[in-house]
Chains A and B, each alone.
Chain A
Amino acid sequence: MSKAPPLLQINQLQRLMIGPVSLAVEEGDCLCISGPSGSGKSLLLRAIADLDTHTGEACLRGVAASNIPAETWRRRVGLLPPESVWWLPRVGDHFRGELPVTLEHIGLTAAVMAQPVAQLSSGEKQRLALMRLLSNHPEVLLLDEPTANLDPENTRRIEAVITEYRRVQRAVIIWVSHDQTQIARVADRYYAVSDGTLEERTIEGRQWLN
């Protein structure tokens, strides 16, 4: 019997200055990417989520994106942008699916759903944006500097939710981060963007933690 295809496979993906990028990521793996601003990290995530035209192809469990309806693909391959966006008056209006992780995990209660979005702090918005994305139960999570503008407390909560989700759902995580200590905490593999391609690096500070 042949081996099952990896959960996420990226073949020769290319968009503007980034690529071609090829990767295979197995269930439950967390892969971190860093690189200078303008190096195309966000563009790579957008291309994987199929939000921009690109060459090459991403496959989910061996099925190419082009064979999956776009909205289904984006529900299964969820992208969390650095700044959360809200368009309806109340928090709860933005949620449809069931939450895979309880709101207590992010230090909030169900009462937050009735609150106007305007009353949230930026930390709360980012935590809730993550929950909103997780309510789609994505198999792949693309995180674009999810904690870049957050204090250590909010950062810790976001990391805890992602770790929990990854453990329970066996999801693939692709995490763009500048923070070497964060990368040491969460990554299984670490890549740096260099000249438009991904170069695998050793995770600094990992030996300390172990």
Chain B
Amino acid sequence: MVELSTTDLAIAAVLVLLLALLSIRLRSNISQQLIIAATRTAVQLTLIGLVLKLLFAHANLGWVMLMALIMLLVAGREVMVRQERRFTGWWGYAVGTISMFLSSFAVAVFALVVILGEDPWYTPQYAIPLLGMLLGNTMTGIAIAMDRLTQTAWEQRAVIEARLMLGERWEAAISDYRRQAIRSGMIPIINAMAAAGIVSLPGMMTGQILAGAAPVEAVKYQILIMFLITTGTGLGTLAAVSIGSKHLFDERQRLCLDRLRQP
């Protein structure tokens, strides 16, 4: 693999600077955001590089777990802020975070133990990137699905309540919107699988090829990852939508929209 020097990165940074200058000339006000985001990328990735270096040098379960926990909590926050009408109070954070924990961690541990079989199973070179990819995608799926669920419950309040008034149980009254929410959470990963290799070359596979892996080996890893991500996203979305739709009703099966935050 070609080793990158600081100069190489500086040249790439100059490209971004040129783009920023160009956008100033064109009076688009994006240049400030562009510079801030580019700086964040450089700083955040450098820090994570150092953290991973340390973690790889001290491969013990405790540190890997701590890293995994931090990743989970940050992803949980991301899921929360992406929902316009999220649940109020700690529910807004917990629904997404618990669902991600259930799905991403279960799938990651399963893949590490049963499929990859490294010794020890938590070898950070495998565990951390795998969990990262799982969390990143599950996060998107859950955020979209929950946003859809809470938004439709709000908009279709009249329908849900009309069905309750006619003596339907809450599960029946919200079933259509629950289905739609699960569907919209799963669509991105289904599209990604359908387009993989034709429209886009997935990032991980590209990375492995750049690092010198044989293309066929890289492809095998990519297929494995795609399947794991799909399972993780699917389970996470199902869990979040199930927990979420139940929490839209109280013990007397009343629709409780006051449990949603006003955008």
Contact = CB atoms under 8 A, between A and B. Distances in A.
Given A85-B158, A85-B159, A87-B176, A74 B165 contact: yes
Contacts of B250: 53
Contacts, number: 52
A132 B164 contact: no
A159 to B, nearest CB: 21
A74 B164 CA distance: 7
Contact of A71 (B156, B159, B167): B167
A133 B255 CA distance: 19
A136 B168 CA distance: 11
A136 B252 contact: no
A103 to B, nearest CB: 18
Interface in B141-179: 156, 158-159, 161-169, 176
A79 interface: yes
B247 to A, nearest CB: 15
A49 B163 contact: no
B254 interface: yes
Contacts of A92: none
Interface residues of A, number: 21
Contact of B254 (A51, A75, A78, A85): A51
B253 interface: yes
Contacts of A71: 164, 167-169, 253
Interface in A31-53: 49-53
Nearest to A80: B165
A136 B167 contact: yes
Given A53-B250, A70-B253, A71-B253, A87 B167 contact: no
A87 B163 contact: yes
Contacts of A85: 158-159, 161-162
A121 interface: no
B252 A70 contact: yes
B252 A50 contact: yes
B254 A53 contact: yes
A2 interface: no
A84 B163 CA distance: 11
A1 B28 CA distance: 87
The 5 closest A-B pairs by CB, nearest first: A75-B167, A85-B162, A70-B253, A87-B159, A70-B252
24 contacts: A49-B165, A51-B164, A51-B254, A53-B252, A66-B252, A70-B252, A70-B253, A71-B167, A71-B168, A71-B169, A72-B167, A74-B164, A74-B167, A75-B167, A78-B165, A79-B165, A83-B158, A85-B162, A87-B162, A87-B163, A87-B176, A132-B166, A136-B166, A136-B167
Given A50-B252, A51-B164, A133-B166, 19 more contacts: A51-B254, A51-B255, A53-B250, A53-B252, A53-B254, A70-B253, A71-B168, A71-B253, A74-B164, A78-B165, A78-B166, A81-B161, A84-B162, A85-B159, A87-B162, A87-B163, A132-B166, A133-B165, A136-B166
